[in-house]
Structure 1
Amino acid sequence: MRLTIPTWLTLFRIALIPVLVLVWFLPFNWTNFAAALVFALGALTDWADGWIARRYGMYSAFGAFLDPVADKLAVAVALLLIVQRHPDWFMVLMAAVIIGREITISALREWMAALGERARVKVAWVGKIKTIVQMVAIVVLLYGSPIMGLPTIVFGEFLLGAAAILTLWSGWNYLHAAWPAMRRDDGEDSGQ
């Protein structure tokens, strides 16, 4: 197994997850800022590892597996922390939509790969926009304190709602692309 710079950045992003949880629960006034900073650092390493991998051709099978796992873990943990602090129906519903879509699409990709049709469910522009909006929403909600009197929570909720809509849209695109393979009735064992 070859560890490339992008893979090291992905491993660093995974290592930031317990740091995020620890910082979130520290009994200090600045922990919301520190948690937002830790998550933002992880989001930047996500961008950096992809850019470095494409720019310098530093690809590895392990990195290709680990990168989406790191993203999903970081987002799921951050959303759980946000819901813990804001346990209202809207936050719970948006977190459930985002996490549920990630689980569904991960299973869909795995199934399509087993059929040899993984190329049908590749990342599209809607998914990229969803990721950006989602990351900004999470940073804003982790921070949560007003900035110059502006209610960041309201702005973060708006962005999280937009991310959930984009999540459903991109999820629909994936399912639509995979639908022909799902409709096939070729008598093969589906594993169920």
Structure 2
Amino acid sequence: MTWNIPNILTVLRLLAAPGVALAFLLLPRPFADWAALILFVGASVTDWFDGYLARKWNQTSRFGAMLDPIADKVMVVIALMVVVAATGMPFLVMLPATVILFREVFVSGLREFLGEQAGLLQVTKLAKWKTTIQMVAIAVLLAHGIFAHEFGMRSMGMDALMTSRVLEGVEADHGNLRYYWMAMGQSWIAGVGLIWLAAVLTFVTGWDYFMKSMPFLRDGGQDG
């Protein structure tokens, strides 16, 4: 096990993953939303830096190669669970999240079964884009929670008619309700759109890995 900066960043990303869930268990909102968003974005940034630094400084290692994809999957899986719970488990988030979680478990099982032949399931460019879009989608949905909480707090004590009049510009907008209403809506649309795109790419890459592994899954086929 080699302790260099790229590997330390990977370990920190792995440790940050449960912190996203712990933030909602230990902190009230919106502090939990902010803590989860900062942890997740920070961890996502290290995903790029650890690989870049490992290549630049020629510090690639078997430990890093093993841990990097695990850290990515743990971070995405835990953050997805948090997002699904924080948004109230709506169909538009629950279904793509289920597809993503199913694929990650399925492909991990394939790699374990293939053993020495697992190298045929090399990470493709499309799979890297899939991971990137997953991370962006989760970050946007975490930000949506912040905007939704702020809108709710700033409109507290206002009835539906008053809120509507402020949003329509009839009444003075002292609490910046229109900004948070717009940010809440746009972040929801963007987050849901991205999570569905990520789910499609997740399915496509999962199917690609499955087809590549088929010769090793047939009885009487290739040994491995």
Q: Which bracket does the TM-score occupy, shorter chain normalised?
A: 0.7 to 0.9
Gaps of 5+ in 1: none
Identity of aligned residues (%): 36
Q: CA deviation at 1:80?
A: 0.7
Gaps of 5+ in 2: 149-178
Q: Is the 8 A contact 1:137 1:160 kept in 2?
A: yes
Q: Which residue of 2 aligns with 1:130?
A: 130
Query: CA 1:29 to 1:117, structure 2 compared with 1: closer, same or farther past 3 Å?
Result: closer
1:72 is aligned with what amino acid?
K
Question: RMSD of the TM alignment (CA)?
Answer: 2.0
1:11 is aligned with what amino acid?
V
Q: Which consecutive segments of 4 or more residues in structure 1 shift more than 6 A?
A: none
Q: Which residue of 1 aligns with 2:23?
A: 23
**Given the alignment of the two structures, is residue 62 of structure 1 paired with residue 97 of structure 2, yes or no?**
no
Q: Which residue of 2 aligns with 1:96?
A: 98
- Larger Rg computed on CA atoms: 2
TM-score in terms of structure 1 length:
0.88
Q: Which residue of 1 aligns with 2:207?
A: 172
Deviations 1:108-151 (A, max 9, x none): 12222x2x322321011110111111110000011112676142
Q: Is the 8 A contact 2:7 2:64 kept in 1?
A: yes
Q: Is the 8 A contact 1:4 1:59 kept in 2?
A: no
Query: CA 1:5 to 1:88, structure 2 compared with 1: closer, same or farther past 3 Å?
Result: same
Look up the SS of the partner of 1:59 in the other structure. Answer: coil
**Given the alignment of the two structures, is residue 156 of structure 1 paired with residue 191 of structure 2, yes or no?**
yes
Q: Is the 8 A contact 1:32 1:143 kept in 2?
A: yes
Structure 1 stretch displaced more, 66-75 or 10-19: 10-19
Aligned length: 187
Where in structure 2 are the equivalents of 1:3-152 lying within 5 Å? 3-25=3-25, 26-86=27-87, 87-112=89-114, 114=115, 116-144=116-144, 145=147, 149-150=182-183, 151=185, 152=187
2:46 is aligned with what amino acid?
T
Query: CA 1:106 to 1:187, structure 2 compared with 1: closer, same or farther past 3 Å?
Result: closer
1:181 is aligned with what amino acid?
F
Query: CA 1:58 to 1:84, structure 2 compared with 1: closer, same or farther past 3 Å?
Result: same
